[in-house]
Amino acid sequence: MEHLLLPLAALPFPDIDPVIVQVGPLAVHWYGLGYVVGILFAWWYGRRLLANSNLWRGGQAPLKPDDLDDFIIWAAAGIVLGGRIGYILFYDLARYIETPLAILAVWEGGMSFHGGFLGTTIAMILFARSRGASVWSLFDVVAAGVPVGLGLVRLANFINSELWGRATNVAWAFVFPNGGPEPRHPSQLYEAALEGLLLLIVLRILTHGFRKLKNPGFVAGAFVAGYGLSRIVVEFYREPDAQLGYLFGGWMTMGMVLSVPMVLVGIWAMSRARRAAA
């Protein structure tokens, strides 16, 4: 079977510099740009949702669009701090204990979605309480626009030739510059399609087609469950982190372990929102 995995059968990896522009020691990376654009889109999109009274129960949004101007700082802190701390704790704790200064090298990558999710959730709870607003509705507003950032960051992962997939003989496989000679699944693109594009469409249908913003927590629950399911599916094609490898049974990965609770919590949140609306 090894002859089926010859690099000659793979697509050529695109020659895209991970650095967009560099001036002296300062460099702008696609990875960082993905986070910035994702945060700004979620802010802009959230303002539009809050400004559309037809989407909310009684025609009254739980927050003013201007409130998101203040929250964007909270969100950015939650994403960056939570994402970095989550990666350190979940994926590579031994390395950072050995070289603590590497914790600050965020530009080298090493962010955990699950950690960023927890960090942003804490930020949303604290912010909503400070404004006397519905926590569940803030969850919904933020969740509706998050898939764009997820998709962009996954595209940046592809450009960076990181988080690539398992060896395969599919026609659309790539030989990644730092992934060895085997053609591999472009699992970053799978994630961009599922966690980014598909999830954005599903949430848009829920907010504007089924008016689910009138049931606080339903859209957020759909996002959490949708992300968890998407991540679990892609983990079957994604190469596990080298320092962790496969976990239970020789097939389960850390990404799966962290995503299963998300699916359960998301289903619970949707069920709760439906019961509250009954």
Written in H, E and C, the secondary structure of 217-248 is CHHHHHHHHHHHHHHHHHHCCECCCCCCCCCH
28 forms bridges with which residues in the sheet?
A: 21
Tell me the pairing of strands 19-23 and 26-29.
Answer: antiparallel
Structure tokens at 18: 């991970």
Structure tokens at 225: 């469950």
Q: What is the pLDDT of residue 103?
A: 73
Give pLDDT tens digits along the chain (278 positions): 444 444 456 798 999 999 999 988 788 989 889 989 999 999 999 999 999 999 999 999 999 999 999 998 898 888 888 888 888 887 877 888 888 877 776 656 677 878 888 999 999 999 999 989 999 999 999 999 999 999 999 999 999 999 999 999 999 999 999 999 999 999 999 999 999 999 999 999 999 999 999 999 999 999 999 999 999 999 999 999 777 788 877 788 988 998 999 999 999 999 999 998 87
Q: What is the pLDDT of residue 9?
A: 62
Q: What is the pLDDT of residue 110?
A: 73
Q: What is the pLDDT of residue 248?
A: 75
Q: How far apart are CA 176 and CA 154, in angstroms?
A: 15
CB hemisphere CA count around 228 (13 angstroms): 18
C-alpha distances (whole Å) from 198 to each of 135, 143, 150, 190 are 25, 14, 11, 11
3-state secondary structure of 174: strand
Q: How far apart are CA 214 and CA 67, in angstroms?
A: 19
Element containing residue 20 per DSSP (H, E): strand 19-23
pTM for this one?
0.88
